[in-house]
Amino acid sequence: MDAAAEHLAQLVELLRTDSEQLIHRWVELTAPSLRGRLTEAELHSDSRELFDALQQALATTGNVNDSHFAEVKGLLEDLSRARARQGFSPSETAISVFTLKQAVSELVGQQDDQNLYRQVLTFSTLLDVLGLRTFEAYARTREGIIKEQSEQLLELTTPVVKLWDGVLAVPLVGTLDSIRTQIVMEKLLQALVDTGSEHAIIDITGVLAVDTQVAQHLLKTVMAARLMGAECTISGIRPQIAQTIVALGIEFGDITTKASLSDALRHALRRSGVDVVATARSGR
């Protein structure tokens, strides 16, 4: 056994014999930063689990990249994910790892052993690495949450509404990006099938700007609707957007465009044989 391995064994022994005391102190140090949003019992069980896994891994190796640390890392990622979902900040999450350093050094400080002290330094470097991992896992979870929320927002902000029997409309509002446009258009086409509607109006009165890609998606939607046996009208093209479309050289071809939503509706009704002047539901 070389010197480093011997020191490691010494540290593991220390962690084992004083585990109760260490975990107790660790929880004590961590608790204030979590400010009562997690019960002491929960924190205690989290900490014990992590401590046991850490102790087990260290019994084999001091190398954090070794496969023996897989369980420790797994636990840390679970913990970070849970904390991120509970609304803790990244530092509040990482501190749960870093406080163990303090707990251990307090314990070792009582003993006058140079070698052990050096070993504690190595241990604390190892904890730094593990602490950083919580940041990564935390960030990934938050990104996931942000993505979920923006998808929910998308659902909320782009309703497909029925204007008349057989006439659907999507009022688009705000800034259109490529992905959002695609999702909305898929939703519109599905709604045509579900309701058996043969007319759709895409109203872009509330759209601030269109780029080439967005315009292409709109055009492709109109073509896809035709393949399915339905007609799309684009309404509410504002002057600036009309100029952009011309400047970008986008061909709207034979696609019906109307100045306003009401013009588009009148057009759709006429095509489906409904006369607006007569009593509301004549025709079909």
Partner 1 sequence: MTELGTESARLEIIGDDDVVRVRQLARSYAQQVKLSLVDQTKLVTATSELARNTLTYGGGGAAEIGIVRDDHRTGVRASFQDSGPGIPDLDLAMTDGWTSGNGLGLGLSGARRLVDDFELDTEVGRGTTVTVVKWSR
Partner 2 sequence: MDRVPILRIGDVLLVSIQVDLQDQGVLDLQEDLAEQLSSISARGVVIDISAVEIVDSFIGRMFATIASVSQLFDADTVVVGMRPAVAITLVELGLTLGNVRTALNLEKGLEILRGTRGRTGLEWAQPPPEVTR
Nearest-5° Cα angle at 205, 204 to 209:
65
Q: Of the candidates 182, 216, 244, 257, which one interacts with partner 1 according to CB under 8 A? A: 182
Amino acid, res. 176: L
Residue 254 binds partner 2, judged by CB under 8 A:
yes
Residues 233/202, Cβ–Cβ less than 8 Å: yes
Residue 189 binds partner 2, judged by CB under 8 A:
yes
Q: Which range, of 60-68, 116-124, 233-241, 250-258, touches partner 2 by CB under 8 A?
A: 250-258
Q: Of the candidates 113, 186, 194, 275, which one interacts with partner 1 according to CB under 8 A? A: 186
Q: Which range, of 23-31, 117-125, 238-246, 249-257, touches partner 2 by CB under 8 A?
A: 249-257
Q: Of the candidates 53, 225, 234, 269, which one interacts with partner 2 according to CB under 8 A? A: 225
Q: Of the candidates 4, 129, 145, 179, which one interacts with partner 1 according to CB under 8 A? A: 179
What distance in Å separates the CA atoms of residue 31 and residue 42, rounded to the nearest whole number?
11
What distance in Å separates the CA atoms of residue 224 and residue 188, rounded to the nearest whole number?
11
In angstroms, what is the C-alpha Rg of the chain?
Answer: 32
Residue 194 binds partner 1, judged by CB under 8 A:
no
- Pattern 199-218, partner 2, x by CB under 8 A: -------------xx--x--
Amino acid, res. 90: P
Structure tokens at 43: 């924190």
Residues 220/184, Cβ–Cβ less than 8 Å: no
Q: Of the candidates 224, 241, 257, 266, which one interacts with partner 2 according to CB under 8 A? A: 224
> Count residues contacting partner 2 (CB under 8 A)?
30
For residue 158, which of 200, 130, 188 has the smallest C-alpha distance? 188
What distance in Å separates the CA atoms of residue 185 and residue 73, rounded to the nearest whole number?
42
Residue 230 binds partner 2, judged by CB under 8 A:
yes
What distance in Å separates the CA atoms of residue 22 and residue 108, rounded to the nearest whole number?
11
Q: Which residues in this chain contact partner 2 in the complex, by CB under 8 A?
A: 178, 185-186, 189-190, 192-193, 196-198, 212-213, 216, 219-231, 251, 253-254, 271
Q: Which residues in this chain contact partner 1 in the complex, by CB under 8 A?
A: 179, 182, 186
